[in-house]
Amino acid sequence: MTDVNLRERSSLQLAITDAASLTAEQTLARLASGTGGLTGEDAAARLLELGPNAVRTHRANSWAVLGRQFASPILILLIVTAGLSLFLGDATNSIVIGVILLASVGLGFANEYRAERASEALHSRVTHKAAVQRDGTTTEVDVTALVPGDVVHLSLGAIVPADIRLLTTNNLLCDESILTGESQAAAKDPAPVPGGASLADLASCVFMGTVIQSGGCSGVVVATGGRAEFGRIALGLGERQPQTEFQLGLKRFSFLLLQVAVVLTSLIFVANLLLQRPLLESLLFSLAIAVGITPQLLPAVVSTSLATGTRQLAKQKVLVKRLVCIEDLGDMDILVTDKTGTLTEGKISFTHALPATEGMSDAGLLTLGLLATEANYAGAKVSSAGQNPPDAALWESPGAAAFDPARFERLDLIGFDHQRRRTTALVSEAGGPALLVTKGAPEDVLALCAPITLAAQALLDEQFDAGSRVVAVATRPAAGLSRLTRADEQDLTLAGFLVFLDRPKANARQSLDRLEALGISVKLATGDNAKVAERVCADLDVISGGTLTGAEVEGMSDADLAAAARTATIFARVSPEQKARIITLLRQSGGAVGFMGDGVNDALALHKADIGISVDTATDVAKDAADVVLLDKDLGVLADGVMEGRRIFANTIKYVLMGTSSNFGNMFSAATASVVLSFLPMLPGQILLNNLLYDSGQLAIPGDRVDKEQLRAPSHWNIAFIRRFMLLFGPISSLFDFATFALMLVVFTAVPGEFRAGWFIESIATQTLIIFAIRTRRVPFLRSRPSAGLLSASLGVVALGVFLPLSPLAGVLGFDPLPVPFFLALLGMVVVYLVLVELAKQWFFARDAQQLPAPPPPVRRRHATHHISRRAFRFSIPARVPPLKVHAARGRAVGWRRARRGRPGRNL
């Protein structure tokens, strides 16, 4: 084997367990990489060889969508029965049923596939980046383009983009709960581990899908895609997403209809057999009743609603990463938001330096601030990518141009973490004695200094009262010191304050007003000083329910904090972990919690929220963690997104209520008539045609208008409410069906063909036109106008329903011509029906509001697979991802959990 082949083989194949036991240098050598990473040419070759770092595809799959249309057991039974009918010689009825079924499948396919294409376009617009060493410089690439051998830099809140062997760490803690189920973070260190260690004991590695909870690191990519541990689990779960609360509600509703359908069709089938009617005819009729009572196009209506909502939000510059995120937006009733980039402009700018000691100049204080940044001095002047906003603002300030990195040597560094809230550097200028420089939150830095003067304290208070963001800088001589420990951070001398400004957004107050009008409680969580947060709220006229500081949060039990969090408005000086804890407790109290943030510090909370929201100007870590990204600085689009989510739910409920009232009533009427009459009241094909026409008209519901009062609070599934609605309006529909039966038999002495034609027309007219009453709690047309699309679709369906029994197809469909007086009587009956429905509606909703309040929303209990699938979609490409065996992925996941349970010493 040639050296080239050996090099190619070693650079592409290395197990994570083997890498963990090797030194960092040995791992780089095995992967044919170095501390400067790969060249662009090498990375491209490896990507071509190994494929993308992906575990999901967002490509629209037409065959999968088509297969879902045939997944209904009832539909399959009808297809089989239609084939049997054809085999037994009833060709006409078989062809009619076949055409209707194909039309129904076609409608469902067209609408669901359109929604899938919308989802594909949506995912293609979303990118997730990672900071990588390529060609010796730090650059950002899409996470799906990572390959083994890439050297990656990770900071607080970042999602680990692949299985990585650590090269350097800085107080690194990693949240591995997505793999292990453990809530406590795991400490990481680049030192090799003994050979044969279990996956959970690989402290020298971080794994795809886990989150950097504290500190930072650099490492070399060892495994990507399905070869990574998280990738194996994600692929084992398959491509289908876990069901949301909205989808679970649909499932419960479908189960309700299934119960009704099974009872009704069984009774009909038995009754028709007892009446000695043909077996095939009885079976077809019973199955047609079952199909008629179920809203077959409900998945298509929901998919169309979501796709329509996505397009509307895109026009308003709101990017949702998954279609179901729109549902979560509408469900939100608590919004916890960070201050920076959400209530403020999000562009932190360095304004000036305030020296606090004699002999310290503004330029000298700025130089000390630059020395205490974590970025490489030479690289930071070229690019601020990957830096935290204050450090980036310092390097982008005009004064930083005079900084000469060649004059200084960094001897050691203790990076920023959210317990210490400061960065400490040990530097030497021009080979002189070492100097220790600390930069961080004023409260924490001042605690390490000798007592400061009243003038310095007054200077700091003045900046806080003005709403400025302040960073304190302190120093002390450190001659002879070459390595830093936390114990060295003491006996400091305050050098001064660096002042930053992040102005409140001009339209933030208006946006907050809109959110509050939607029933959303808005809370502020920030790492800034309490005075700064309170000043921002005061500038925006936010009425505060109280302030909790990070120190107070730390001392509270979960029960006490949950109670306090429900009333407090401001959480100040809270760490990322505390933000995540607050979000978790608010969720456990029963609320649907959204979190909006744009900084590195917000990533943990974004992961914990029901719906994570960020802005386009946010840090890459925050945008990666968010489910929804606002593409401009207008926070009012968030209110638009909430309204869109609620509009989708409201329009879906319209379809559901129609299906449980008119469908149930009509099918109950058909069941009763089939027993009483000497002939079937409607042929199976006619029932299916009626249902197809009705459902087709309702595909316009997703674009319908929604009354403002329906958007003021989140709506939740209430099966008891739907059942009560069905038991009231279903019998009203049946009452008018029986009146039509009497009219046809007594007044017009109709033969079977005329009877079926008359009831077909009356049925399609009443169950289609009832949408105008059900779609609103107001008086229809006068106080609530339907959309033009719904109006034209409904009237078009009624017109077609009237035309078919009079058309040349009438004979084929089993209809006979009707006398003209019937249509006059029908017009009167429809008017009376709609008036009666309107009166019943007003009584029902008044009684429901007074005596039968909706139950509180349940506390969300999401399974681990939900979080895995949600996380996996950042590793998504518009192409097929080769699947792995499911049992292998499951076995590996179980092994993770067993290993962690057996070694409590790893938890910190």
Give catalytic residues, as residue numbers.
Answer: 338
- State how beta strands 611-615 and 628-630 pair: parallel
- Position 891, amino acid: G
Return the H-helix or E-strand segment holding 142.
strand 137-142
- Position 386, amino acid: G
C-alpha 899/C-alpha 179 separation (Å) is 11
- Report yes or no: 120 and 59 within 8 Å, Cβ to Cβ: yes
In which residue are the tokens 């192409």 written? 879
Structure token pair of residue 166 = 């650590």
Burial class (CB in 10 A: 0-12, 13-18, 19+), 751: exposed
Dihedral pair phi/psi, residue 140, rounded to 5°: -110, 130
User: Which of these, 873, 673, 853, lies nearest to 126 by C-alpha position?
Assistant: 873
Strand runs labelled E in 275-343: 318-320, 334-337
Angle between helices 864-872 and 229-237 (to 10 degrees): 110
- Report yes or no: 686 and 760 within 8 Å, Cβ to Cβ: yes
C-alpha 195/C-alpha 192 separation (Å) is 9
C-alpha 739/C-alpha 836 separation (Å) is 14
Which residues, other chains included, contact 391 with Cβ-Cβ below 8 Å and sequence gap of 6+? Answer: 373, 374, 375, 380, 384
- State how beta strands 163-175 and 186-187 pair: antiparallel
- φ/ψ region of 421 (left if φ > 0, alpha if ψ in -120 to 50, else beta) reads left
C-alpha 538/C-alpha 597 separation (Å) is 20
Return the H-helix or E-strand segment holding 570.
strand 570-572
| Helix, coil or strand: residue 314 | helix
Angle between helices 664-676 and 245-274 (to 10 degrees): 10
Q: How many residues does the chain have?
A: 908
Return the H-helix or E-strand segment holding 355.
strand 349-355
Q: In terms of DSSP H, where are the helices of 13-61?
A: 16-21, 24-30, 40-50
User: Which of these, 172, 165, 156, lies nearest to 208 by C-alpha position?
Assistant: 165
C-alpha 883/C-alpha 396 separation (Å) is 46
Angle between helices 636-658 and 719-742 (to 10 degrees): 40
C-alpha 190/C-alpha 193 separation (Å) is 9
Structure token pair of residue 49 = 């060889």
Which residues, other chains included, contact 399 with Cβ-Cβ below 8 Å and sequence gap of 6+? Answer: 362, 363, 366
In which residue are the tokens 């190619």 written? 8
Structure token pair of residue 393 = 């603002």
User: Which of these, 596, 618, 601, 452, lies nearest to 527 by C-alpha position?
Assistant: 601
Return the H-helix or E-strand segment holding 596.
strand 593-596
- φ/ψ region of 261 (left if φ > 0, alpha if ψ in -120 to 50, else beta) reads alpha
DSSP 277-291: --HHHHHHHHHHHHH
What is the gyration radius of the CA atoms in the chain, in angstroms?
33
- Position 556, amino acid: M
C-alpha 624/C-alpha 237 separation (Å) is 22
